[in-house]
Structure 1
Amino acid sequence: MINYVFKRILSVIPVLLIVAVVVFSITYLTPGDPARVILGADATETEVIELQEKMGLNDSPIEQFTRWFGNLLQGDLGDSYFMNKSVMAAFADHFMPTLSLALMAQLIAILIALPLGIFAAVRRGSVLDQTVMGISLIGISVPSFLLALILVLIFSVNLGLLPVAGYQPLTAGLDMHLRYLLMPAVALGAMQAALITRMTRSAMLEVFNNNYIKTAHSKGVKEKKVLFKHALRNAALPILTVIGQTFGVLITGAAVVETVFNIPGIGQLIINSVERRDFPVIQGVVLLISITYVLLNLIIDLLYGVLDPRIRLDKK
Structure 2
Amino acid sequence: MARYLLHRLLALIPVLGVVAVVVFLIVHLTPGDPATVILGDEATPQQRLALIAQLGLDKPLAEQFFTWFANVARGNLGVSIFMRDDVLNVFLDHLGPTVSLAVFAQLLAAVPGVWLGIVAARRRGSLVDQSVMGFSMLGISVPSFLLGLFLILTFSVWLRWLPVAGYRPLSEGLWTHLRYLVLPAVALGAIQAALLARMTRSAMLDILNDSYIKTARAKGLAERLVIYRHALRNALIPILTVFGETFGALITGAAVVETVFNIPGVGQLIVNSIARRDFPVIQGAILLITVTYVLLNLFIDMLYGLVDPRVKLGRS
TM-score range, shorter chain: over 0.9
User: 1:243 Cα shift?
Assistant: 0.7
Cα distance in structure 2, aligned partners of 1:308 and 1:53: 58
User: 1:119 Cα shift?
Assistant: 0.8
Equivalent in the alignment of 2:261: 261
Q: State the one-letter code of the partner of 1:171.
A: S
Mean Cα displacement is larger for which, 306-315 or 100-109?
A: 306-315
2:55 matched to 1:51?
no
Q: State the one-letter code of the partner of 2:308.
A: D
Mean Cα displacement is larger for which, 294-303 or 305-314?
A: 305-314
Cα distance in structure 2, aligned partners of 1:312 and 1:160: 53
Cα distance in structure 1, aligned partners of 2:33 and 2:157: 41
Equivalent in the alignment of 2:21: 21
Helix, strand or coil: the match of 1:263? coil
Equivalent in the alignment of 1:146: 146
2:113 matched to 1:113?
yes
Q: State the one-letter code of the partner of 1:8.
A: R
The C-alpha deviation readout for 1:191-213, integer Å capped at 9, x for no partner, is: 11001000000000011122221
Cα distance in structure 1, aligned partners of 2:86 and 2:3: 36
State the aligned residue count. 316
Kindly report which structure 2 residues correspond to 1:73-112, keeping only aligned pairs within 5 A, or say none: 73-112=73-112
Q: State the one-letter code of the partner of 1:3.
A: R
Kindly report which structure 2 residues correspond to 1:1-316, keeping only aligned pairs within 5 A, or say none: 1-315=1-315
Mean Cα displacement is larger for which, 43-52 or 169-178?
A: 43-52
User: 1:89 Cα shift?
Assistant: 1.4
Q: State the one-letter code of the partner of 1:225.
A: L
Q: Which runs of 4+ in 1 moved over 6 A?
A: none
Cα distance in structure 1, aligned partners of 2:312 and 2:149: 48
Indicate the RMSD between aligned Cα atoms, in angstroms.
1.1
The C-alpha deviation readout for 1:95-154, integer Å capped at 9, x for no partner, is: 111110110000000111111110110111111111111111111111111111111111
User: 1:170 Cα shift?
Assistant: 0.6
Q: State the one-letter code of the partner of 1:213.
A: I
Helix, strand or coil: the match of 1:15? helix
Unaligned runs of 5+ in 1: none
Cα distance in structure 1, aligned partners of 2:314 and 2:298: 15
Helix, strand or coil: the match of 2:9? helix
| TM-score normalised over the length of structure 1 | 0.98
Q: State the one-letter code of the partner of 1:274.
A: I
Cα distance in structure 1, aligned partners of 2:61 and 2:200: 47
Cα distance in structure 2, aligned partners of 1:267 and 1:314: 35
Cα distance in structure 1, aligned partners of 2:312 and 2:167: 45
The C-alpha deviation readout for 1:33-81, integer Å capped at 9, x for no partner, is: 2112211112211111111111111111111011101110111111111
Change (3 A) 1:314 1:290: closer
| TM-score normalised over the length of structure 2 | 0.98
User: 1:315 Cα shift?
Assistant: 2.5
Helix, strand or coil: the match of 2:180? helix
Cα distance in structure 1, aligned partners of 2:40 and 2:200: 54
The C-alpha deviation readout for 1:236-258, integer Å capped at 9, x for no partner, is: 01000101100111111111111
Q: State the one-letter code of the partner of 1:214.
A: K
User: 1:314 Cα shift?
Assistant: 4.5
Q: State the one-letter code of the partner of 2:271.
A: I
Cα distance in structure 1, aligned partners of 2:209 and 2:13: 40
User: 1:14 Cα shift?
Assistant: 1.1
Identity %: 62
Q: State the one-letter code of the partner of 1:148.
A: G
